[in-house]
């Protein structure tokens, strides 16, 4: 079935926002790249801001699918499932040419000037951290990580470290920072587990 105009705009817009950021994305360029008349864009979206927010929704739907697939695989130990989610994200970054994370990019660019984006992106990161925290809570209950650890704090630290590694990966156009941060984080968590 042919992709709808709206779908095509969102998909192309996601790639352009990841590469160029928000302010450098021209609606005209998006229309040309997708062969869409201007009126059609404004039929589907009230404004550029509305469009970018819908791109973020679409991005998050994919993130939740990845979380479902990785964290839901209860055959694997919880910390392995969490690592797999980040490895899956790293695979996505590879396919895109290591441009990092859309949430990190838009969060950096817009959170100083736009409260709507600041709140939306924080909500997204907070949702991801929450799902990882649930899995780390399983890890805690199963003794994979120390009994006195805080799954919520550990999930936020991991997600934040990953976002920094994603930025460096964007600068290097390389997976190395991503692998290094996962090795360090899970190595530390395991080491702490051994110590306790």
Q: Which residues bind its own copies (CB under 8 A)?
A: 18-21, 23-24, 99-100, 104-105, 107-113, 118, 121-122, 125, 153-154, 156-157, 159-168, 170-172, 177, 180-181, 184, 187-188, 191-192, 194-195
- Closer CB to its own copies, residue 110 or residue 136? 110
- Closer CB to its own copies, residue 72 or residue 194? 194
- Closer CB to its own copies, residue 5 or residue 108? 108
DSSP state of 148: T
Rounded to an integer, what distance in angstroms lies between the CA atom of residue 42 and that of residue 17? Answer: 18
In whole angstroms, how close is the CB of 187 to its own copies at the nearest point?
Answer: 8
DSSP reduced 3-state for 76: coil
In whole angstroms, how close is the CB of 1 to its own copies at the nearest point?
Answer: 32
- Closer CB to its own copies, residue 20 or residue 44? 20
In whole angstroms, how close is the CB of 53 to its own copies at the nearest point?
Answer: 16
Rounded to an integer, what distance in angstroms lies between the CA atom of residue 112 and that of residue 172? Answer: 25
Length of the chain: 196
In whole angstroms, how close is the CB of 82 to its own copies at the nearest point?
Answer: 15
Helices and strands (H, E) in the chain, number of each type: 9, 0
CB 181 within 8 A of CB 161: yes
Rounded to an integer, what distance in angstroms lies between the CA atom of residue 154 and that of residue 83? Answer: 13
């Amino acid at each position: 079935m042919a992709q709808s105009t709206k779908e095509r705009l969102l998909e192309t817009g996601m790639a352009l926002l990841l590469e160029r950021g928000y302010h450098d994305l021209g609606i005209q360029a998006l229309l040309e790249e997708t062969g869409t008349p201007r009126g059609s864009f404004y039929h589907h979206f009230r404004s550029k801001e509305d469009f970018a927010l819908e791109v973020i929704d679409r991005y998050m739907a994919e993130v939740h699918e990845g979380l479902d697939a990785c964290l839901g695989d209860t055959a694997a130990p919880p910390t392995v499932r969490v690592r797999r989610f980040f490895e899956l994200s790293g695979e996505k970054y590879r396919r895109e040419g290591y441009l990092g994370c859309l949430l990190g990019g838009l969060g950096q660019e817009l959170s100083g000037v736009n409260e709507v984006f600041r709140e939306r992106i924080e909500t997204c990161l907070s949702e991801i951290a929450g799902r990882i925290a649930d899995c780390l809570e399983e890890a805690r209950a199963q003794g994979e990580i120390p009994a006195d650890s805080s799954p919520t704090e550990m999930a936020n630290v991991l997600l934040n470290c990953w976002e920094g590694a994603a930025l460096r990966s964007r600068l290097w156009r390389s997976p190395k920072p991503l692998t290094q941060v996962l090795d360090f984080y899970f190595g530390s968590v395991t080491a702490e587990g051994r110590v306790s």
